[in-house]
Amino acid sequence: MALVAVLVVFYFSNRTYAFLEKFFIVIMFANIILVLAVTLIAAKPQHYWQVLLGYLGITFLREGYPSALPGTDALALFNQPGGSLMWVSFWVIAAGFGMGKYAGQVTGPLRPPERITAEEIHWDVNDAGERRKMHQWVKVGGYSLILWWAIIGGIIMTYLYSVAGLAYLHEDFLKTGKVPSGVMVPIQMATIAQGVMGPMAGWLMLLFIMVTLYDAQFPFYDTFIGRTTCDAIAVTTDWEERRPYRFYYFVVVTGAVLAGFYLITPAQPFILWIGVAISALIYRSIGAWQIMLINNRRLPEEFRVSRLNTWLLWITVVTGFGGVGYWFFTVFPKELCKAWKIMC
């Protein structure tokens, strides 16, 4: 369903970003309202307090690292990105604000092709007006990250999920000893919604969860696969003189989605899954380092990375490589022994 949705959105939208921006606004706010309603019905005051102690680190100080949480699971949890800010990015580009004004949007095959900017865009750093506008956009970006990603998505929503899970599922886990794993983990909130508010709420929450888990795939197909490949074609070949940018874009995206129809059929080997998680941590650490380099080398002094953000980026670099190093030297040998069925 998710793969078909990618093709439907990309082929039939007037502008892909404009549709995604509206789509994710509805999903995001509806998800927040439903999770809040489920939590208020299911939870008691002690559940809020118990989860709060965990969030503040007090439980960890009292009881130590939870022995039931393997290092590989902790590494996977550390790598989860979340998608609360997705609609902000689409909205900025779709509305043509900031540099999104010059990005260009791929239009569907049923619409006239739109020219895509494939060269580096320069702005006049000596123009006081341009510098003022850039300062405004830097502030908007920072406030959006703090509000939607950190406060709402990273703290409030995960807190509500945890409270609802503790209130509705925890006692059953203690009685049965069965802790969910695999695909059952992300659908626990749908289980809670169904138990608290009925089957319709369960199906609705399942839809929200699917879209939330898949939100990164829309820009992944668009940017990392479609745009990157077609930008390379535009700047290194003369193919665009024969056919518009959009033609190659849809060839590439369609090919990637069709490949996905096969790739979801075989069971993913654990070693491949953990390899993807490890690679994502490494790439994120490298990307944080590159952000510092490119901003500090290519932008005027007043727009370079601040001292606070420099510390945050270095924390990303160190914790990313540190987490991978921890896994490689402590967890990986044990997993290797299990895979080869030998004593270590």
Q: Where residue 32 falls among pLDDT bands split at 50, 70, 90? A: confident
Cα 79–Cα 81–Cα 82 angle in degrees, nearest 5 = 140
d(CA 160, CA 152): 10
Residue 341 has pLDDT above 50, yes or no: yes
Start-to-end C-alpha separation, the chain:
44
**3-state secondary structure (DSSP) of residue 107:** strand
Lookup: tokens for 74: 């902790």
Residue 182 has pLDDT above 70, yes or no: no
- Give the contacts of 160 (CB within 8 A, at least 6 positions apart): 35, 36, 39
Report the DSSP beta bridge partners of residue 15: 107
pLDDT value, residue 209: 77
pLDDT value, residue 240: 75
Contact of 86 with 24, CB cutoff 8 Å:
yes
- 0.85 surpassed by pTM: no
Query: 199-237 pLDDT, tens per residue?
Result: 988 888 888 877 766 666 676 777 778 878 888 888 888
Contact of 288 with 34, CB cutoff 8 Å:
no
Long-range pairs of 305-314 with CB within 8 A, sequence gap ≥ 24: 313/288, 313/289, 314/288
Q: Where residue 107 falls among pLDDT bands split at 50, 70, 90? A: confident
As a whole number, mean pLDDT of residues 22-35 equals 82
pLDDT value, residue 135: 86
- 280: nearest Cα among 270, 288, 291, 268: 288
- Give the contacts of 331 (CB within 8 A, at least 6 positions apart): 70, 71, 72, 75
pLDDT value, residue 4: 82
d(CA 22, CA 32): 16
Question: What single-letter DSSP state applies at residue 120?
Answer: P
Residue 114 has pLDDT above 80, yes or no: no
Q: Where residue 44 falls among pLDDT bands split at 50, 70, 90? A: very high
- 111: nearest Cα among 32, 9, 12: 12
**3-state secondary structure (DSSP) of residue 15:** strand
The beta-strand segments (E) located in the chain are: none
Query: 46-97 pLDDT, tens per residue?
Result: 999 999 998 888 988 988 887 766 666 665 555 554 444 445 556 666 666 6
Taken as a whole, the chain contains a residue count of 344
